Structure 1
Amino acid sequence: MSLPSILIIGSMKAGTTSLYMDLAQHPAVFFQADKEPHSLCSDDVLTPAGLEQYAALYAKAEPGQRSCDASTGYTKLPDFPGVPARATQVLPADFQAIYLVRHPIDRIVSQHHHEFFAGEAGPSIDDEIRTQPRYIQYSRYYEQLAPWVDAIGKDRILVVRFEDYVERRPEAMERICQFLGLDAAEFVDREAVAYNKSQGKPVLSSVWRQARESGFYRKIVRPLMPAGMRQAVRGLLLPKAKQELPKLSAEGREYLRRELKGDVEALSRYLNLNEPLWEGF
């Protein structure tokens, strides 16, 4: 039974799609067609049928390849509890996890833009952050990370700062490959490429959304089309989102800073840093 030995556990809007695309080109890594299966978010994976379904996603991995599951739901407490415990029950005993973290306020703004263009959030970031706890919860990185550390220990988790990954991508990929035991020479530098950005992101109309969710697309078209080609076709065929993005007020930014300051400090201590990971904290 083929199951992932690499997890990209998040966080949402912190470069997970770009890392997925970068690692997907490495010949020693196998990804199934859907970037985010979220299989470990449910107890269904603990049943024989659910485990078989999860393993089937990676059945086409070649001998010697390591399968990777990249699902941001794995660091979305309290919405999806118990993920580390399920992972330790079903995955190989030595599986590793990569956790991408981004300036927590910038991540929240990007999440809101993503959800706003998808029709899942209202236009006011200030209103959303005060009424929808998920925005702040998903940016409490240390709180999200702690259950993983308890489950598998620090040595099997790599925390990568989004800003380092974006600004020094080859160096970041060398560090990631070293952590995973992969040959970094197989990584092709695509430093200028960024995927899944909210600004200018293609908008899914109802027709396109239905087509994407159809059985024909998911079972026939998607598995045969490489991830990079899917991104390119989607960008060519779908209308682009408007460039005007909702703004976060100064008051909203200060509110978020107060809410997240303690968690940023805790994560900085976890990483043995003498100062916070990001300015303003």
Structure 2
Amino acid sequence: MQHTLNTLPPSSIAIDGCRALPDFIIGGAPKCGTTTLHFILDQHPEIRLPGSEIHYFDADDPVTHPDFFSISGERLLWKDPRPENATGLDWYQSRFRPFAGNGLIGEDSTTYLFSEVAAARIRALLPSVRMIFMLRHPVNRAYSQYWHLIESGRTALTFEKAITRQPSIILGSTYVSGLRRFFDQFPREQIKVVLFEELTGNTQVAVDEVTEYLGVEHLPVSQLDTWFNKTTHTSAPALQRGANLIAQYLVSGRYRGHMTSGPTSGAGFGSRLGLRYTRLVRRLLPKTKNSPKMRSETRAFLTQHLSARNEGLSDLVGRDVSSVWTDMQI
């Protein structure tokens, strides 16, 4: 369903007696272990999570979701995530209603951290919600996002060129401004920051901190399946980039599927064809566990640049993150 450019309904709508809204939200950042944390918490007997990201609070934000906007002649259009005839809050509650009264309810939408509107909207509707943010070494996160774009057919550029053409790679590793918006809206005790490196390095300790923060029993991670190391990379990046030149002309609005209750029903033929093409290419090209090494000059540049963009991060979150990201001066 498409609408002219507007905003989501205000969050002050009255909530009915049955609470079907999140107790906690994992708000970002992308490529920082949010999938792993979701996967682990979803196995907790006291926690319930929808299977996909919802983006209710920032779907109309052109910064975080440029793919949801288009133009027809001179008319701006927005791809509404809601099913036809559904009101915003009713649709949002419907994603959680099966879980109501059956433990803590969570949501994860990894773009909330970077949206200029999400923090205030979340506060207006869910003033007691607990926020969780996963952060990763900014340079490594940027590189991981680039390879995600490569492997999903969304860029055909080298890493260096992609940085200059796709601002989300740098913006996605700029944590301070987004976190400040949430600290301005919520008390410190309602915000938990988890480092990717600690989640992967000592998973049990990191998960214990999260479960304590949420007020649920500890979860023995050794007894669980996890998401670690399930990502593979192409060992023929030049071939992948060449194939992606074709995909760029086929794929349109691909991530709308994250916004609906079921499969994407409104996707055009080009979008469906592009998605199938990308999946085929990914299956055919040779794979390796590790991505190619970043150029040392690029890493040095990004370390300096992203240190400056994240100045004050340690003071903001109340811990010395440079003790983990030892080459970053933040």
Shift of 1:188: 5.7
Whole-Å separation in 2 of the counterparts to 1:239 and 1:248: 24
Q: Which runs of 5 or more residues in structure 1 are unaligned?
A: 220-234
Partner of residue 57, structure 1: 95
Whole-Å separation in 2 of the counterparts to 1:38 and 1:97: 15
Partner of residue 315, structure 2: 269
Whole-Å separation in 2 of the counterparts to 1:82 and 1:192: 32
Whole-Å separation in 1 of the counterparts to 2:173 and 2:49: 26
Whole-Å separation in 2 of the counterparts to 1:5 and 1:74: 16
- Count residues in correspondence: 250
Whole-Å separation in 2 of the counterparts to 1:112 and 1:268: 26
| 1:2 to 1:196, Cα distance in 2 relative to 1, 3 A | farther
Partner of residue 38, structure 1: 55
Shift of 1:62: 4.5
SS at match of 1:89: helix
Partner of residue 113, structure 1: 147
Task: Determine if contact 2:36/2:226 at 8 Å carries over to the other structure.
Answer: no
Whole-Å separation in 1 of the counterparts to 2:326 and 2:284: 32
Partner of residue 22, structure 2: 4
Partner of residue 86, structure 1: 121
Question: 1:89-108 residue pairs with structure 2 within 5 A?
Answer: 89-91=124-126, 93-108=127-142
| 1:89 to 1:169, Cα distance in 2 relative to 1, 3 A | same
CA displacement, residues 130-156 of structure 1 (integer Å, 9 cap, x when unaligned):
222211111111122110110112211
Shift of 1:81: 2.3
SS at match of 1:144: helix
Matched, 1:249 2:287: no
Partner of residue 326, structure 2: 279
Shift of 1:122: 2.2
Whole-Å separation in 1 of the counterparts to 2:25 and 2:325: 25
Task: Determine if contact 2:180/2:316 at 8 Å carries over to the other structure.
Answer: no
Whole-Å separation in 1 of the counterparts to 2:325 and 2:179: 17
Task: Determine if contact 1:199/1:241 at 8 Å carries over to the other structure.
Answer: no
Whole-Å separation in 2 of the counterparts to 1:26 and 1:240: 36
Partner of residue 259, structure 1: 305
SS at match of 1:60: helix
Partner of residue 227, structure 1: none
| 1:187 to 1:251, Cα distance in 2 relative to 1, 3 A | closer
Shift of 1:88: 1.2
Q: Which runs of 5 or more residues in structure 2 are unaligned?
A: 1-18, 61-79, 235-239, 241-246, 264-278
Greater CA radius of gyration, 1 or 2? 2
| 1:142 to 1:191, Cα distance in 2 relative to 1, 3 A | farther
Whole-Å separation in 1 of the counterparts to 2:285 and 2:180: 36
Task: Determine if contact 2:23/2:129 at 8 Å carries over to the other structure.
Answer: yes
Whole-Å separation in 2 of the counterparts to 1:6 and 1:196: 26
SS at match of 2:216: coil
Whole-Å separation in 2 of the counterparts to 1:38 and 1:195: 26
Matched, 1:146 2:192: no
| 1:89 to 1:272, Cα distance in 2 relative to 1, 3 A | closer
Partner of residue 130, structure 1: 164
Whole-Å separation in 2 of the counterparts to 1:268 and 1:100: 14
One-letter amino acid matched to 2:159: I
Shift of 1:49: 0.8
SS at match of 2:97: coil
Partner of residue 73, structure 1: 111
Whole-Å separation in 2 of the counterparts to 1:136 and 1:22: 28
TM-score when normalising by structure 2 = 0.67
Whole-Å separation in 2 of the counterparts to 1:195 and 1:61: 30
Aligned match of 1:172 in 187, 202, 206?
206
Shift of 1:275: 6.6
Task: Determine if contact 2:20/2:100 at 8 Å carries over to the other structure.
Answer: no
Whole-Å separation in 1 of the counterparts to 2:196 and 2:23: 22
Partner of residue 13, structure 1: 31
Shift of 1:172: 0.6
One-letter amino acid matched to 1:24: D
SS at match of 1:143: helix
Shift of 1:270: 2.1
Per residue, is there more helix in 1 or in 2?
A: 1
One-letter amino acid matched to 1:22: I
